[in-house]
Structure 1
Amino acid sequence: MSGLTGRTIALAAERRSEEINTILHKKGATTVHYPLQGKLSTHEDALIKDVETLIFERFDLAVFTTGIGGRTLTKAAKDCGYEETFIQALAKTPIASRGYKTRHWLTEIGIEPLLTDEDGTMEDLIDKTCTTRPGRTFLQLYNQDDTTITQQLEKTSTEVYTSQPYTYEPPEEAVVTALADVLRKRQVDAVMFTSKKQVENLLAEDESAVVSACNDNVTAAAVGTVTAQALFDAGIQTVIQPPSQKMGAMVVALDQYFQANPKT
């Protein structure tokens, strides 16, 4: 019997939620959905500027931190008739890539990165990047302006051009409050996160209650090292994290955890 049979799982993810719902239901679990990522927002003028800059200016290294960022820039290039030229420019530029989703995007457009992370974190990738001491660096930022990453690259690069292809609008306040309340009342057996942003949005609502619940009898599960680390940093002691950064693998890991800990 599956360890998830009869369990209630809260999902904080919005993208591909139907896929993970199906997997969990086949395992006998009930799911409740609280999308915490927020709505993706892009700015066309800034995207076109970033695309043209990468095409028409020379960079010694281009650092891509998320698959969404890479895909958003590629779509912007396509929309303004630059897709082929954009991909050609990328092919001529040494690439540093963080995360399997970013590498998957690069594979789709036929590009092999020069540098990749070992553990899904920017820290590992930046360490490798700084050893190359690039001249001009194109840096695709996360959702938020990460000044720490920019400053680290500026120490070894002659210039760092920052691109922020997208931002996330805050999730609906009622949704965040509802999930925090469910956790406070211990009405779910586990809560699944697929991004650091989801963790941050929930902790901003009531960090102490969330941490208390996840250290009591609500199990936290995360896809990716960065997501898991955000939970650990908040003080959550146990986080179920699969070796593969995929949602299907997270379900398997959670199933195995509950089989080994049936009274949890």
Structure 2
Amino acid sequence: MGQVKHSPRTAGPSHLVVVDLDVPKGKGSSDAPGGADTFKALCERAGQPAPATLSVRTPTGGAHLYFTAPDGIRLGNTAGRLGRLIDTRAWGGYVVAPGSTTAAGAYEVTDPAAPAPFPAWLYSLLAPRQALRQLTGRPATQRTGRYAAAALNAETASVESAPAGERNGTLLRAARALGRFIAAGDLDRAVVEEALQWAGESAGLPSAECRNTIRSGLNWSIARNAMRRTA
């Protein structure tokens, strides 16, 4: 058997956003719509043409669509947010580069076009909430402080990248960690809730589950830190 050549490409530092269109898995899936079908329907509903950009066929029959990331924006990874069997890879994620071969097969270029700019209408469906962008873009001299903003970035990133089975626990720990900044007046609770809600949903957690976990974690942390200050 020949040598397996597997070259990952880290999306974020490469200034790329990759849309991963997967195929259904399991028995009876041959008639089920795949990620490519869902993406086509998404484009049609938005009244937009399917983007012409660097495209790669994966060994399983799926596709990777390569785009250049918006300037000044740090998108994370998503799973199913655009639709069933559609994931995105940006900061914190990677894909196998075109030309690589694995035991499952090769990653073959099907459209050699240069990566197109990530469409604005797609970005609007994935962009972090405006409150989080405003917070992390504030100067460190404002009350939020560099440390609090860095903590918010770090905790939301950990939630977004949490593996299946650990997402709710990671979200709870993040809420508890950030609650102390709310108790100290360094972060606004509404901003933290919005940022963690977005991160939890991006990781694949149901909206209601996110809200309940965030509320529980923040209430516990704020109460505990308030008691410490008055002790």
TM-score range, shorter chain: 0.3 to 0.5
Q: TM-score, normalised by structure 2?
A: 0.34
Q: TM-score, normalised by structure 1?
A: 0.31
Higher helix share: 1
